[in-house]
Amino acid sequence: MKDVSTHHTHCPSCNELITVDAEACEHCHAHKIDNYIPHDVRLKIKALTGIVAFLPLLGFLISAIYLNHIMLTGIICLLLSVAAGSVVYQKLQTHEKKKNITVWKRRTLTW
């Protein structure tokens, strides 16, 4: 007799018996999300990205008083701001995805 527990598990939403490698439950339509990032962590990532992106712009505002080439400095600071923000955002996202949190979410069916 084969051991059933090695090939099947229970759905966390409805407790229905499903296969171990199933991506969705056919009974309650819940689906598995790998590398899930919780909502509060996503908000913190966006806040830190905003702060990091604001720092070069703050530097521009301070240096605009002392420089003659305001337009060139503004463009450079804007590009630095976008680059710094995207680098920080990608690093924090990959750091959270390495935690490899798997959750089951129920789909909202509308028909």
pLDDT of residue 84: 93
Average pLDDT of span 71-91:
90
pLDDT of residue 47: 95
- Provide the pLDDT confidence category of residue 45 given band limits of 50, 70 and 90: very high
Average pLDDT of span 65-81:
84
Question: For the chain, what is the mean pLDDT?
Answer: 84
CA distance 109 to 98: 31
Strands 8-10 and 17-19: antiparallel
Would you say residue 15 has pLDDT above 60? yes
Would you say residue 61 has pLDDT above 90? no
- Cβ-proximal residues to 14 (8 Å cutoff; 6+ apart), any chain: 25, 27, 28, 30
- Cβ-proximal residues to 97 (8 Å cutoff; 6+ apart), any chain: 35, 37
pLDDT of residue 88: 95
Would you say residue 28 has pLDDT above 60? yes
- Provide the pLDDT confidence category of residue 1 given band limits of 50, 70 and 90: very low
pLDDT of residue 2: 52
CA atoms within 13 A on the CB side of 1: 3
pLDDT of residue 109: 61
